[in-house]
Structure 1
Amino acid sequence: MNEQISDQQINAAGHLTIGGCDAVDLAHRFGTPLVVYDVQQIRNQIRAFKQVFEENSVDYAVSYASKAFSAIAMYQVVAAEGAHVDVVSGGELYTAIKAGFPMANVSFHGNNKSREELEMAIDHHVGTIMIDNFHEIELLADVLEEHDAHVDVMLRITPGISAHTNKYIQTGQVDSKFGFDLQSGQADEALTKVLENPRMQMKGLHAHIGSQIFELAGFEGVAKKLVEVAAHWQEKFNYQAAVINVGGGFGIRYVKDDTPLAPEEFVAAIIKAIKTEIKETNLAMPAIWIEPGRSIAGPAGYNLYTVGSRKDVPGLKPYVTVDGGMGDNIRPALYEAQYETVLANNPRAELVEHVRVAGKYCESGDILSQNQALPATKPGDVLAMLDTGAYGYSMASNYNRNPRPAVVFAEKGTAQVVIKRETYDDLIHLDEPYQQ
């Protein structure tokens, strides 16, 4: 029996429900593959983060890392909950603009922002630019001069802390493409350059050590390191950091063997660590910012698939093929990420076999699950893959010229399409015929 589905998510028909909506009905109404979000779950996690800060009487910002899932509707929900967002591209920024998101509550990240992206940010009065490298300091200085503008900035540093996570999603170690190195003096040099520019208001410092982290030690370590840097900057440059931003990366439960803390417990530990370190300095207590993405979007998302063909080979694990795959969730192929899948019309059905849930894409590596326990299935059954809300749709592709799925928001028993399913015409609308 799947432990990630509560009894409250099973309706009178015995079907899985998402946001109060019958998952089988959603699949039939909107087609599959389909991405469905439980909107109340998104709201609840944002509120849980905010509550921890408020109980600890700390100035804060909960900034949703929108690379996990970016859409107009998502930005609208985040805005309604009074949270901030961080964006990492002109496209994410444009989407937030179209959503009417308060630009003062937007942070713009990225290790190679273009002039055009910075101009868009300045023209729309983005709240904070997270400066990542020396080239960006010069580029931003030029843009601010040309636009006769000012902007708040923060410096991203690499704290020299390697999180215990997949090597592709570690970002805080010294050998990283992100941020200013501490040991070599890069961070001090960057601070000097920013403080010399009257158009840049230095707001604080930022670090991000990785993603899908289960252990407190990394976050406690980065909190301590950032306070040490802030104290050093005050002593050497007479600069007082108003904000310490510890990033995100709080791990979530994907499969039974995952045992992360509740995301808000990570935050409580970070607050405690920063408060403890601050007492050892002459610093005033700064605001603490966090940037959770996966922990907000991930558990709220579900991918619904329809079962198609099956392949049985004696002595080998069967293949049960669905109508989606690496085009809507590349993480299993890219990271060997694991998920759990249930039969939507009977999540409590007796498990009778272990199968490989295969995708429809023309790649041998297109396997969504290598060892999934399932009841007996047949063509036409609907499978629900759990906890797919982060980095599924946002990394989706049109590989094999397959359209990307629709995205539905479900809340209080009502479902609405927030991203339409692509059509074949959508796939070719940018194509131009070859002129011979």
Structure 2
Amino acid sequence: MSSHLSPGSFTGTSPVWLKEPEDVNALMPELWSRTAEKRDGELHIGGLSVPELVANVNTPAYVLDETDFRERARAFRDAFAPADVYYAGKAFLCTEVARWVDQEGLCLDVCSDGELSVALRAGIDPERIGYHGNNKTAMELRRAIVAGVGRIIVDSFEEIERVGAITAETGTPARVMVRVTAGVEAHTHEFIATAHEDQKFGFSIAGGAAFEAVRRVLAHPGIDLRGLHSHIGSQIFDTAGFEVAARRVLALHAKIAAELGHVMPEMDLGGGFGIAYTSQDDPRPAAELAAGMREIVAHECRGLGIEEPHLSIEPGRAIVGPAMCTVYTVGTVKQVALDGGVSRTYVSVDGGMSDNIRTALYDADYSATLAGRASDAAPVLARIVGKHCEAGDIVVKHEFVPGDIRPGDLVAVPATGAYGRSMASNYNHALRPPVVAVRDGVARTIVRRETVDDLLATDLG
């Protein structure tokens, strides 16, 4: 279990969970994709030398381990069968990755018209697409309904009326789930916890809004209500939080059947399973998570005397997060004196918050390794920072690196597959990096690096 240390749990200038490594060149396998390894100090992924790879595409660059991605997708698919597993498009989505999701038998969640466009371009059956979002426009809903999206997760009374109006106008039925808040807050960062009451998503079960939302959905003949949807948070390491959520959601499920006469065939309990960013994180295998959630649902349904609805889950970052790393080139190294006669080594790289905003946004922790050579130097505690004009532009807050780290070295940061590229920006007019997929000794650029022409294309001068 992750220790989930509070900010300020430090020894000297390092967090208490960060131990000085015996070998600063070694990888911690649990933080890296499954084909990552060091050979004479060089990082290799998918059978390819990372230094040779980035020599062709430049840095910063996202390196995506296709084998790892597919194996994690299959692990969730098989562990949770016959439940449906929905890949989180918001974590990272491009046409090629959408095809991998489809090929491995997963469904796909989208939460914008742009993500839907990518999914349809990839040839995914619309019936296997779910559409999230707390403020879908009438235009977005119309496109999704006409395209035949398998489920729209409705999130407001206004949205219910919009969907009802579109189905009446077009004669096209819409399949929906009602997103509910179960009053359970997972142990996670405040800004990514999503089931407590004071937030923008869903209808409250406790306050009666969820029951009313279902009543209004059932009043529209063109809407096919499939079930309830719950999501308790993100970066969750066990199934304990799902027990209370499932109890409350299934109790509402039973109440709707008894009082409104509608037996819903499905239920989505969310997921948002955690990954290892540092040694303090201890994610559970997919099979263990599946067994825990399956027993929770079965137990609650037995207690209520109802049939188990068809379950779907959403692993969140757990598939793509560990499958990708980001590679940077060191530009400067400086020592900064701190109080108490100690100093911190600042290592500046050629990317930063424009390609990974999570450290600045969520105070997230990451790890790193020297990727291009072996070093005999003793480890020093360093902070890896970006090149942007912000003091908070930090990539890795605390990491041990070789004491001889220098300009021109390559540094790789693992577990950046989720939200790195998808939340990337053009801050300071930076060009967003490419995504290079590697597998069995072959590299393919599946998202190219932006160019200055791209940057200026929308600037009308």
TM class by smaller structure:
over 0.9
The corresponding residue for 2:37 is 10
Task: Say if 1:250 and 1:294, in contact at 8 Å, map to a contact too.
Answer: yes
Q: Please give the per-residue CA displacement for 1:373-423, whole angstroms capped at 9, x wherever unaligned.
A: 011212111111000000111000000001000011111221101111001
The corresponding residue for 1:423 is 451
Structure 1 unaligned segments of length 5 or more: list them: none
Measure, in 1, the Cα distance between the counterparts of 2:34 and 2:217.
54
Measure, in 1, the Cα distance between the counterparts of 2:286 and 2:213.
32
Q: Please point out which of 61, 66, 70 is paired with 1:39.
A: 66
SS of 1:296's equivalent?
coil
Task: Say if 1:134 and 1:190, in contact at 8 Å, map to a contact too.
Answer: yes
| Count of matched residue positions in the alignment of Structure 1 and Structure 2 | 429
Task: Say if 1:263 and 1:295, in contact at 8 Å, map to a contact too.
Answer: no
The corresponding residue for 1:88 is 111
TM-score with structure 2 length normalisation?
Answer: 0.90
Task: Say if 1:159 and 1:225, in contact at 8 Å, map to a contact too.
Answer: yes
Task: Say if 1:240 and 1:283, in contact at 8 Å, map to a contact too.
Answer: no
Task: Say if 1:319 and 1:357, in contact at 8 Å, map to a contact too.
Answer: yes
The corresponding residue for 1:328 is 355
Structure 2 unaligned segments of length 5 or more: list them: 1-25
Q: Please point out which of 344, 354, 365 is paired with 1:317.
A: 344
Which stretch shows the higher mean deviation, 253-262 or 341-350?
341-350
The corresponding residue for 2:3 is none
TM-score with structure 1 length normalisation?
Answer: 0.95
SS of 1:190's equivalent?
helix
Alpha-carbon shift at residue 349 of structure 1 (Å): 6.3
Measure, in 2, the Cα distance between the counterparts of 1:292 and 1:172.
16
Amino acid at match of 2:443: A
Task: Say if 2:35 and 2:67, in contact at 8 Å, map to a contact too.
Answer: no
SS of 1:362's equivalent?
coil
Alpha-carbon shift at residue 348 of structure 1 (Å): 8.3
Measure, in 1, the Cα distance between the counterparts of 2:214 and 2:365.
41
Measure, in 2, the Cα distance between the counterparts of 1:11 and 1:335.
30
SS of 1:68's equivalent?
coil
Matches for 1:120-159 after TM superposition, within 5 Å: 120-159=143-182
Task: Say if 2:35 and 2:45, in contact at 8 Å, map to a contact too.
Answer: no
Measure, in 1, the Cα distance between the counterparts of 2:165 and 2:356.
40
Q: Please point out which of 408, 411, 418 is paired with 2:436.
A: 408
| Cα distance, 1:134–1:166 mapped onto 2, change above 3 Å | same
Matches for 1:297-316 after TM superposition, within 5 Å: 297-314=320-337, 315-316=342-343
Q: Please give the per-residue CA displacement for 1:315-365, whole angstroms capped at 9, x wherever unaligned.
A: 420211100000000000111101110011247866521111010111111
Q: Please give the per-residue CA displacement for 1:36-87, whole angstroms capped at 9, x wherever unaligned.
A: 1111111111111122234xxxx31000011000111110110010100010
SS of 1:37's equivalent?
strand
The corresponding residue for 1:193 is 216
The corresponding residue for 1:78 is 101
Measure, in 1, the Cα distance between the counterparts of 2:295 and 2:139.
40
Q: Please point out which of 231, 243, 246 is paired with 1:223.
A: 246
Alpha-carbon shift at residue 6 of structure 1 (Å): 8.6
CA RMSD of aligned residues (A): 1.7
Q: Please give the per-residue CA displacement for 1:127-184, whole angstroms capped at 9, x wherever unaligned.
A: 1111111000011111122221101110000001111110000111111210011122
Alpha-carbon shift at residue 262 of structure 1 (Å): 2.2
| Cα distance, 1:222–1:74 mapped onto 2, change above 3 Å | same
Task: Say if 1:251 and 1:263, in contact at 8 Å, map to a contact too.
Answer: no
The corresponding residue for 1:358 is 385
| Cα distance, 1:41–1:350 mapped onto 2, change above 3 Å | farther
Task: Say if 2:27 and 2:38, in contact at 8 Å, map to a contact too.
Answer: no
Measure, in 2, the Cα distance between the counterparts of 1:383 and 1:73.
26
Which stretch shows the higher mean deviation, 315-324 or 342-351?
342-351
Amino acid at match of 2:144: A
Measure, in 2, the Cα distance between the counterparts of 1:425 and 1:75.
27
Please state if 1:60 is matched with 2:72. Answer: no
Measure, in 2, the Cα distance between the counterparts of 1:103 and 1:160.
32
Q: Please point out which of 266, 271, 284 is paired with 1:261.
A: 284
Please state if 1:345 is matched with 2:368. Answer: no
Alpha-carbon shift at residue 215 of structure 1 (Å): 3.6
Which stretch shows the higher mean deviation, 12-21 or 77-86?
12-21
Task: Say if 2:62 and 2:436, in contact at 8 Å, map to a contact too.
Answer: yes
Matches for 1:263-278 after TM superposition, within 5 Å: 263-278=286-301
Task: Say if 1:356 and 1:369, in contact at 8 Å, map to a contact too.
Answer: yes
Alpha-carbon shift at residue 221 of structure 1 (Å): 2.0
Amino acid at match of 1:34: A
Measure, in 2, the Cα distance between the counterparts of 1:214 and 1:95.
30
Percentage identity across aligned positions? 41
Q: Please point out which of 391, 405, 411 is paired with 1:383.
A: 411
SS of 1:165's equivalent?
coil
Measure, in 1, the Cα distance between the counterparts of 2:135 and 2:33.
43
The corresponding residue for 2:6 is none
The corresponding residue for 1:25 is 52
